[in-house]
Amino acid sequence: MSLDEQVERLSQLKQRATLGGGQDRIDRQHEQGKLTGRERINTLLDPDSFEEFDALAIDQYNPTAEGFFGDAVITGWGTVDGRPVYIFAQDFTVYGGSLGEVVGQKITKVMDLAVQNGVPIIGINDGGGARIQESVTSLAGYGDIFRRNVLASGVVPQISIVMGPCAGGAVYSPAMTDFIFMVEGTSQMFITGPDVIATATGEQTTPEELGGAMSHASKSGVCHFAHESEQECLEQVRRLLTFLPSNNMDEAPTVDTGDAPGRMLDDIASVVPEDSGLPYDMRDVIERLVDNGDFMELHEYFAQNVTVGFGRIAGRSVGIVGNQPMYLGGVLDIDSSRKAARFVRFCDAFDIPIVTMVDVPGYLPGLSQEWGGIITHGAKLVYAYGEATTPKVTVITRKGYGGAYDAMGSKHLGADVNYAWPGASIAVMEGTSAINIIGRREIQAADDPEVARLELVADYKERFEHPYIAASKGYVDDVIEPRETRVRVARALEMLRGKAQTLPAKKHGNLPL
């Protein structure tokens, strides 16, 4: 065979691989409002940057007429904004995107390369789970992937994009990655599907209600981002990567945002009411704090009493955690503690500074919270802040009460710089509640109990419920004007750029799971 004939044969094989399961199946994918695996890769990556691996790999169980080159996954690497990423995309047009031996080998290869080269790994999931006809071999493939998720955790960012069915064992790999993106109407994640649930429990549900994007974005918290279309979803993955370093030894990209670090928050008084009982949107404060108001919120629809996300200050990436007075008064509960703790741990793993905006009335009381394990779940947030060695700057805007004050990036958990606004209340509990306990006898003995109560509350607020006691003890480094918040936070972060802190030597801590 001549060289020209060999090249022609290669071209035909590559073309066959490019078509996946064939044009008919590609058309069916499009009819469902979904892109193919290749189209998704090309949309996500920079133009003409994708380099494919193992395009000619083939399933040994069916290597002849029905065999598909590349099997049910496309793997390789490319760039996003010029920065390299490794990527795999399940191909639903081939065996329904199911995972068999070849698919498992291809995915683990790029995962290994990602860790070895310090490059993010992105997985696009759209498949029917383990390939039944390959029996335990397909299960082994999942196990191999799971272990690599664990080894890569905290070393390189791991991003999962769910763009179709993801069921059974297939959901555990995305669950161990750092971020999960889903698309409304076409993405589902669940351990057992509606039919199995109906048989086992009698409950009637649909795939979308059970495991759709908004179900996981608002109810379970499994999904970090839910988008209306695949195009929007992939654009937001590109946006997320701009805030992240490539690995745990690298720094996130510095961006010339054109927003001066010395910019004052001149209208902040119109955003935050003086009355601590009135709500406001913490996102309005955060968007004024970060460069150009560019704040990428995670878990927007889940545990909304805490807001978390990425922004930039002086061009550098920061992770921001803030109580949200608009929802349950910004109180901490089970879900918000878990949400904030996982975000803090991610930022710490990749040395992204954490800015904490505190306005917290305490922990949410109630039987459901206590029986649901608020003690353990609340401790996760305490543990996360206490363990974090990345630069930590905290600002108390209005109040920090009780153990929730400690949990929200306090000096006592190792925050580097702590500020408070002059109207901030920092105490064991709010004045009225405190006086109902410590002033009970005095109130009962008074001629006018209500007048006595008001006087005792006013005295308590004057003596205890202000930031100057904490400032006098160094628990707050300075009481600052609200309009200076961005300037002071930017300067603190610049001062902390060279921070180096090590924890006591140990195999690992025992996080209260």
Q: What span, in angstroms and rounded, lies between the C-alpha atoms of 62 and 95?
A: 11
Structure tokens at 476: 């707050």
In this structure, are residues 164 and 34 in contact, taking their beta carbons and an 8 Å threshold? yes
Q: Which of 118, 143, 403, 423 is catalytic?
A: 403
Residue owning tokens 């490019």: 18
DSSP state of 218: I
Which of 67, 118, 168, 386 is labelled catalytic? Answer: 168
Distances (CA, A) of 125 to 94, 114, 186, 297: 13, 18, 12, 23
Q: Residue 408 in contact with residue 356, Cβ under 8 Å?
A: yes
The H or E element spanning position 125 is strand 121-125
> Interior CA angle at 177 toward 186 and 282, to 5°?
80
- Residue 168 bears catalytic tag: yes
Q: Which residue has the tokens 């994009």?
A: 161
193 is catalytic: no
Q: How far apart, in whole angstroms, are the C-alpha atoms of residue 370 and residue 378?
A: 11
Give the number of other CB atoms < 10 A from CB of residue 385: 27
| Whole-Å CA distances, 224 to 8, 162, 401, 497 | 46, 11, 29, 29
Instruction: Exactly one of 169, 386, 402, 414 is catalytic; name it.
Output: 169
Find the distance separating the first CA and the last CA of the chain, reported in whole Å. Answer: 63
DSSP 142-179: HHHHHHHHHHHTTTS-EEEEE-SEEEGGGGHHHHHSSE
Alpha carbon distance 297, 299 (integer Å): 7
d(CA 231, CA 234): 5
Task: Select from 185, 190, 179, 262 the least CA-distant residue to 225.
Answer: 179
What residues have CB less than 8 Å from 247, skipping those under 6 apart? 118, 119, 120, 155, 156, 157, 350
202 in the Ramachandran plot: left (φ > 0), alpha (ψ -120 to 50) or beta?
Answer: left
Residue of 404, 420, 434, 470 marked catalytic: 404
Q: Which two tokens stand for residue 231?
A: 């195009």
Quick check: helix, strand or coil at residue 366?
coil
Query: DSSP for 259-322?
Result: --TT---TTGGGTS-SSTTS---HHHHHHHHSGGG--EEESTTSSTTEEEEEEEETTEEEEEEE
Q: Name the residue with tokens 């995309």.
A: 89
- Coil, helix or strand at residue 13: helix
Q: For this structure, is 169 an active site residue?
A: yes
- Residue 149 dihedral angles phi and psi, to the nearest 5°: -60, -40
* Positions marked catalytic: 168-169, 403-404
